[in-house]
Chain A
């Protein structure tokens, strides 16, 4: 087995006295796809934020290709090869689709997909001259994804990309993500929609209140007592 691309080791994050992440650990290798699941507020986005350098972890360490990266500047983490999409897609609205992608491409270190290939993969070819603010929600999400893959990350986090998309768009997205995985990337998919997850990942890490409650194959997760309780509680809560 090859060495892990990313190692997250006992990462905790406190906001004031509130513990949003409690000693979370996991590893991921190239070509793997991991689902990150859990009810709202369980700390999924916080975990992405810590790994991608928005803020440092309160405790724990993060290694990328053997180098410690926790606490590093986010642009260095992005350039090194870790990237993410945002739960609320955040393309640069006053920039055109082309400018959005060009900006990220200009910071890529090695070779990689061209503008046209990225547009093609994310299905944005016809929109290259439009300002991102004029795109619809699904297109903005795909542009966010395009921005993230432009730096050719070897570890890519996808934060609830499926929310608000219709079944056709979801299928399209699952297809895109699978292609990326076969391209040798490691992908971590944060998602509520089980149907969608099934198409993309086979292993999951389930969080509740910042803590790991399950790790293993997706189909086993669905039969796990703890997971069931948490998700049942979650759906009653809504």
Chain B
């Protein structure tokens, strides 16, 4: 017989409400969305806010891939570019509404993600480099002049006919909400638990009954779909773009830095990292992108070595130290 008496369910619910990390994570979904809802009242550059949201989604996507399964995809931009193109071409050629184009962008990311599943045969740095090579190859194919009739090749995309700042902004907010909901789910579900176990030790996880290949693939495809949608919103907001703009490796690099800086595995970290660093990035101005690549390269290495859990991790240990001072730690 089913053995879940109603009492159990109630206690499970109270445990959820009482559990500080769950409430804290719920706040981590609500606050950013409310903030972006109000932000245009105080700050007029909606395009910049939209880009910031796009980067939050990208940083959360890196969070899913790296924070939960341990794979760092330097070619993450491949899904972004695929989404930008899939969404735009659907709007231009099939005349679908741009919002539907965003979903189709997600499908574009999903398809490329499925094609790249064999990359998981590679480990560590090989995976990172393999995914980068795949993204560059995709960019080369799309920008190939012989495909001009399909992708418009090197001449890029013009979405001026579909532009609608309000729709774009709201879509970006919805996508941020969606990405946060996915990460919330990963942090508080059996599925997320199995991913964290896989990250620690694949064989051990399989001896706990986890279907490693399946679970990891699902997480990867979630991350790919999110990047596809983010790319398509980016393209929609940018209006006119060339292949090089949506397949730019620095988009991967920046997303990785944002996620690592804030702290992967957490819900707040990547959001926080994206908001703080993207603001800094915009304030400083991008006069010399090559230097930024270099600086970001150094930041990535430093973060992985010295603060693998990012700002959120540092905050947690500091808080733990303050609260346990003088007490016996078990």
Contacts from A to B (Cβ < 8 Å): 52-54, 73-75, 78-79, 83-84, 86, 90-95, 99-100, 102-104, 106-108, 130, 134, 147-148, 150-151
Distance between B20 CB and nearest chain A CB, rounded to angstroms: 13
Residues of chain B within 8 A of A86, CB atoms compared:
204
Interface residues on B, range: 10 to 19
CB of B200 within 8 A of CB of A151, answer no
Q: Give the contacts of B16-72 with A (CB-CB under 8 A).
A: none
CB of A106 within 8 A of CB of B209, answer yes
Pick the residue among B201, B208, B213 that contacts A104 (CB under 8 A).
Answer: B208
Residue in chain B with minimal CB distance to A108: B209
Contacts from B to A (Cβ < 8 Å): 190, 193-194, 196-197, 200-201, 203-213, 330
Given A78-B206, A78-B207, 11 extra CB contacts under 8 A: A73-B213, A74-B206, A75-B206, A75-B210, A84-B207, A92-B197, A92-B204, A92-B205, A94-B200, A95-B200, A104-B209
CB of A75 within 8 A of CB of B201, answer no
Contacts A86-B204, A90-B204, A130-B330 hold; do A107 and B197 have CB atoms under 8 A apart? Answer: no
A83–B197 CA distance with the chains assembled, in angstroms: 17
Residue in chain A with minimal CB distance to B207: A78
Residues of chain B within 8 A of A78, CB atoms compared:
206-209
Residues of chain A within 8 A of B208, CB atoms compared:
78, 100, 103-104, 107, 147, 150-151
Residues of chain A within 8 A of B201, CB atoms compared:
90, 92
Show 10 A/B contacts (Cβ-Cβ < 8 Å), sorted by A: A73-B211, A75-B206, A75-B210, A86-B204, A90-B200, A95-B196, A103-B197, A103-B210, A106-B190, A107-B208
Contacts A90-B204, A92-B196, A92-B201 hold; do A75 and B190 have CB atoms under 8 A apart? Answer: no
Most central of B203, B204, B208, B213 by chain A CB within 10 Å: B208
Residues of chain B within 8 A of A150, CB atoms compared:
208
A10–B35 CA distance with the chains assembled, in angstroms: 66
Residues of chain B within 8 A of A100, CB atoms compared:
208
CB of A103 within 8 A of CB of B193, answer yes
Q: Which 7 A-B pairs have the closest CB atoms?
A: A107-B209, A74-B206, A104-B208, A75-B206, A90-B204, A92-B197, A92-B200
A95–B198 CA distance with the chains assembled, in angstroms: 12
Most central of B204, B211, B213 by chain A CB within 10 Å: B204
